[in-house]
Amino acid sequence: MSNLSCPVCGSPLKLKYRLKFNVYKCSNCGLFNSDAKFEYSFQSSLESDSRDIGLKNLRLKNFATIIKELRKLFGKNFNNIKGLEIGSGNGWWLQTCKENNISCIGIEPEIIYKSYHEENNLNVLYGFYPDVNAIQDGGYDFIIFNDVFEHIPDINDLVENLKKDLSNDGLLIINLPMSTGFFYNMATLMHKFGISSYLTRLWQFNFHSPHMNYFNDKNMKMLLNKHGLSEISALDLDSLDFPSLKERIMADKEMNKLKARFLTSALTLMKPVILSSKPDIKVFFFRKKL
C-alpha cells in the first residue's frame, strides 16, 4: 500500500492505524486518510433519535455563529443571498436559514428525515451531489457543508464541481472536525495504550457514513487553494453541548448505558480542560477566485 498518495498534496501516505478500516497519514501536510467505504444500505450502529437529541442544541448554537459571519461577509446583500447545503440531514441548517430569511436548498442522500423536511416546507432534493440537478442561474452565493465534507472520498473532484456551482465571488463554507483537536489527540493517545474504540468512534467506522479524511488548518487551506479558492475567514466552533452529552454518546447502538454514564461524568469533569484546548470543530470560509 506504499503507493498511496495524499489527495491534498500528492505526497506518500503511510499506514498509521489499523482499525476496522486502515487510516493513513500524509508525511507532508498531515492529512489523515482512510480506506473506509460508504454503506449504501444506510444500515449501521447509528441511533438517529439519540444522535439528534445529543446534537441539536450544539448545531443550532454553531449555526448562529455561522449566520453572524455571513451577515458580516455579505453586508447589505445578506437578504438576497442564495445558498446550497450538501448533506442536509435533519434540516436544521435549512430551518435556520428560513428563520433568517435566507434562500437555501438542501441535497440529502437519505430519506429518513423527509417527513420533517416536508412538514417544515424545507426545499430538499434527494440523492448525491453532484448527480442531483441543483443548478442555480449565476451560481450560488454560498455552498455549505455541515459535518459532511470529511465523509466524502473524492475531494478533488468534489471541489471542482463546487466551483462550477458557485457564483463568481461565491463562498464555500466548510464546518468540520479537526485532527488537531482535544478529542482526536486523546483518542490517538488511548490507541497507543491499546484502546482503539474511541478512535474508531471518531472516524465513525461503525456508522454507514464513515469519515474518509481528517483535516487540519494547513491541509484544508492547501486543498482549497490549489483549486482556486482563498480563505477569508475561519472560526472555532463548540464541539460539545454538555447537558446532552449522554444522548450524544448513546448515538452508537453498541454503547451500553453504564459506559455512557461513565463517559458523561468523565467528560463533564474534564470540561475546563476541553474548553481550554485546541478546537475540535472549525468552520472555514473560502471565496472563489475570479
Helices and strands (H and E) in the chain: how many: 10, 11
Residues 128-134: what's their mean pLDDT? 91
Who contacts 69 (Cβ-Cβ below 8 Å, separation ≥6)?
233, 235, 283, 285
Confidence of residue 251 (pLDDT cuts 50, 70, 90): low
Q: Cβ(71)–Cβ(80) under 8 Å?
A: no
pLDDT at residue number 249: 55
To which residue does cell 453586508 refer? 75
Dump pLDDT digits (tens) for 262-284.
666 666 666 666 666 688 999 99
29 vs 135: which has the higher pLDDT: 29
Model pTM? 0.87
Sign for the CA dihedral angle at 156, 157, 158, 161 comes to: positive
pLDDT at 47: 42
Cα(209)–Cα(198) distance, integer angstroms: 17
Q: What is the pLDDT of residues 142-189, one digit of tens each?
A: 999 999 999 999 999 999 999 999 999 999 999 999 999 999 999 999
Q: Which domains does the chain have, with CATH numbers?
A: 13-288 (3.40.50.150)
pLDDT of amino acid 57 = 86
Cell numbers representing residue 198 in the block:
474511541
